[in-house]
Structure 1
Amino acid sequence: MPSFNSNGYEIAFMDEGEGPPVLLIHGFASRYRVNWINPGWVDALVKAGRRVVAFDNRGHGDSDKPHDVGAYRLGAMAEDARNLLDHLGILRADVMGYSMGARIAAFLALAHPERIKALIFGGLGYGIVTGVGDWGPVVAALEAEDASTVTDPIGLMFRKFADQTGSDRVALAACMKATRQPISADDLSTLKMPVLVAVGEKDELAGSPQALAEIIPGAEVLEIPKRDHMLAVGDKAYKAGALDFLKRKGLG
């Protein structure tokens, strides 16, 4: 598995296919294989004639996993994404992030708008502005010695997911403490690239996709039928809607 050095951290990545590039940024406690390869995203995009680039965020997968909360500032994680584009010689790409990955994509778009042709926020609506909910129980669940002592349902969901993916729970807890920071509506309103907000109909974590789209000029909404936060990412309606959007608005 290839990797590169981004500001002192080794970041694992993949680069597959030929054509206009699309950069994929996975969600919290996941990795690019879980978010993008296993659900069929990479195959679908490559078959659509795209070059697909994805990476394991710091603290995740096969990338370095610092335990320092300060290492997980969203701006720093967004720079990992930009540095990967630089490493591969990609001047401009379409970008899709899911959940935490959508937050990272937003920071990338605000800091380096010239690098993004079209942008997809997956699994995150107006919660990008409000921060949505108390994530303390998730941190507590990740730091618990015994998973059987976790009673909070959201915390337990993320703890089980972290255990299933063999994650470094200390690194994930540090990441969660740093990455829940909201992004102002005023900042998001300055985005000029085409934006799609794709959220599951039953997603209780994301916040309203319509409310987010209303503050971003020209943004579109894709509601993924009958799916919650965890199941929406691999849904065929999400893939179809995203591919259509990228064909109309992106580099394809």
Structure 2
Amino acid sequence: MSDHQTETITSFDGTPLAVHRLGEGRPVLLLHGLFSSAQMNWLRFGHAALLAEAGFECLMPDLRAHGESAAPHDPASYPQGVLTQDLAAVVAGLELGDYDLVGFSLGARTVASGVIAGLSPRRLALCGMGLEGLSGWERRSAFFIDAIDRFDEVEREDAAFMAVAFMKQMKVDRVAARLLLQAVDDIALADLAQITMPTAVICGDKDGDNGSSEKLAEALPDARHVTIPGTHMSSVTEAELGIAIRNFLNEN
């Protein structure tokens, strides 16, 4: 079940986005986190394979400036809300009608923005995300922009060390990533009322990176909170993440 196919979807502005497919059955669109990729978040640790075995077709885009998708250096390629527009373009390009939607970290806030902008999946899973990560993105973004700007001088005891180490591991295009970070909008708390489909807020028991996942679940009209083991970085490596997503999507 490890063999996946990759295709290219052209986004709203002509930017090519890689989309990886695994499995057959009910479509589930999965968006990875910041500085990561579909390969790292969904394929490497078996989450996509688990969902495919459960009868889902996993559709896994690489976000703009990530993975195998294009990483343009032109600031004009990063209008405000660009990831939300990319998500809408992927849904349209794949001709998705009845589907489920899942995101981890930056992917979670992107799918939440997508629903607020008009997407209507059957079920929604927000993973590695808390209330403050949706409404207070500017502060979180500033942390990562600072890590990029100080990339070559960050030492092990620095708060930005893990972020820089992960960027090095993933060979992140820092010019493109910096532009992208400046193009992500905050989500108004009042807009969360528009997320009306059944939603699972799935978060590691030691993950407070994006604020309170419990408060996020409480703020949504039809959500439940699911705790899995791990920190923000480690929870995505745990089998329990894929199991929690599968169990939620399989509910009647």
When the two structures are superposed, what TM-score results if normalisation uses the length of structure 2?
0.89
Partner of 1:160: 165
Deviation at 1:129, TM superposition (A): 2.1
Partner of 1:176: 181
Whether 1:206 and 2:206 are equivalent positions in the alignment is no
Deviation at 1:69, TM superposition (A): 5.0
The one-letter code matched in structure 2 to 1:188 is L
Deviation at 1:133, TM superposition (A): 4.4
Partner of 1:233: 236
Classify the secondary structure of the residue corresponding to 2:21. strand
Q: CA RMSD in A?
A: 2.0
Superposition map of 1:123-162 within 5 A: 123-127=128-132, 128-131=134-137, 133-144=139-150, 146-148=152-154, 152-153=158-159, 155-162=160-167
2-structure distance, mates of 1:141, 1:218: 36
C-alpha distance after superposition, 1:165-192 (max 9, x if no partner) = 111111112222332x321121002211
Cα distance 1:145–1:203, how it changes in 2: closer, same or farther (>3 A)?
closer
Whether 1:94 and 2:100 are equivalent positions in the alignment is yes
Q: What percentage of aligned pairs have identical amino acids?
A: 31
Whether 1:224 and 2:216 are equivalent positions in the alignment is no
- Conserved 8 A contact 1:74-1:107: no
2-structure distance, mates of 1:24, 1:222: 18
Deviation at 1:145, TM superposition (A): 5.5
Deviation at 1:49, TM superposition (A): 0.5
**Across the two proteins, how many residue pairs are aligned to each other?**
245
Partner of 1:77: 83
The one-letter code matched in structure 2 to 1:237 is E
Gaps in structure 2 of 5+ consecutive residues: 1-5
The one-letter code matched in structure 1 to 2:238 is D
2-structure distance, mates of 1:147, 1:36: 31
2-structure distance, mates of 1:187, 1:22: 24
- Conserved 8 A contact 1:200-1:229: yes
Cα distance 1:203–1:145, how it changes in 2: closer, same or farther (>3 A)?
closer
1-structure distance, mates of 2:182, 2:35: 13
